[in-house]
Amino acid sequence: MKKVMSFLILLSLFIPSVAAEEVSSDLAPNSKSAILLDASTKTILFKKNEQEKLAPASMTKVMSMLLIMEAIDNGSLSLDDDVTISENAASMGGSQVYLQAGETYKVKELLKGIAVASGNDAVVAMAEKISGTVSDFVARMNERAKELGAVNTHFVNPHGLDAEDHYTTAYDMALMAFELLKHPTILEYTSIYEDYLQKNDGSSIWLVNTNKLVRFYDGVDGLKTGFTATAGYCLTATAKKNNLRLISVVMGAETSDKRSSDTTSLLNYGFNTYKTHVVLTTKDSLGVKRVENGVVEQADIVLTQDYVKLLKQTDAKPNYSFNVSVDSLVAPLKKGDIVGKVSVVDETGSVIDTLDVTLKEDIPKVNWWQAFLKNLKHLTAGQILIK
């Protein structure tokens, strides 16, 4: 039977739980639909027709970039891998970086072409690199959307050119952007305002970010614009100020200026109204627990991820406590293993959050010689720990 350790850690922590209040005014009057999301807690701060199915245009590439980044992070793809451009990729119309069939580029060069210049040819080349065929890549896009809870989304292509049955919602786009931001390397590309793509023949293509707010709004470092005659002007944006990162989506604006205006309005509201507080990080110890058969006798207990709370700018700072319960620990154990839970308790005694806890570091199992030396040490103290 598992042994359970419970201990109460009383801390003066500034972590009131807030829910977004209804905003009386339309923060995105020029857009058919819009949403504003806190990227730390996923709290919706503003919404307008957020579940309406609309054409996303090149915002589609948010999902395409997500699959690219996931492939890079899982090791099946490298930024330095070569990609040979197919006839199919080179033939793509719309926004492009003018790739030629037979040319070879690094993944990182094509990713820049997608993130900065919205290259349809570049994203098709990456789709073929990852999945073999565009259709297989699109199938994975739709599968991944459902996994994220983006149930009102259906993709027909990886680039966003108008097509029947190709749609998403502002809410679903926010979910995809939230997931993409778990791969912060993407911001190294989406934050570029202008750069060059070096062609195989020695020439270069000037790339200018289609998201002008990257240059003109302090804190904006992504993510993706979109425009077609059907979709109108769209933008999924993200910005960070003072540890508060926001995600905004606007869809169906009549001009690029109106798209930028609505996005600016949403971001200004978010930054002026809310703030975040990092309550505990994964480096903060919640206490120690005895370990059996380990190379060390005690383990530091920590959170599996940082604990962040969203506050109003005018919020007071109440006290909270943590009640930690950890199962008995027997080595070998790895950092990341879920070994218990921590309950966050407010001043009324109510549990407001329950979080997973893990170990601060790996704890290998002792070998026979280490066990002998530990037993010898404790034997002299009249206690045998390892049997």
Residues annotated as catalytic are: 58, 61, 118
Q: How far apart are CA 201 and CA 105, in angstroms?
A: 12
Estimate to the nearest angstrom the gap between the alpha carbon of 42 and the chain centroid. Answer: 10
Closest CA to 322 of 350, 344, 352, 354: 344
Residue 341 bridge partners (DSSP): 325, 356
CB 155 within 8 A of CB 60: yes
Q: How many residues does the chain have?
A: 387
Q: How far apart are CA 98 and CA 90, in angstroms?
A: 7
**Residue located via tokens 């504003």:** 36
Residue 377: count other Cβ atoms within 10 Å of its Cβ.
Answer: 11
Q: How far apart are CA 146 and CA 7, in angstroms?
A: 39
Here the tokens at position 129 are 């690199």
Over the Cα atoms of the chain, what is R_g?
Answer: 25
Q: How far apart are CA 121 and CA 129, in angstroms?
A: 12
**Residue located via tokens 């407001």:** 352
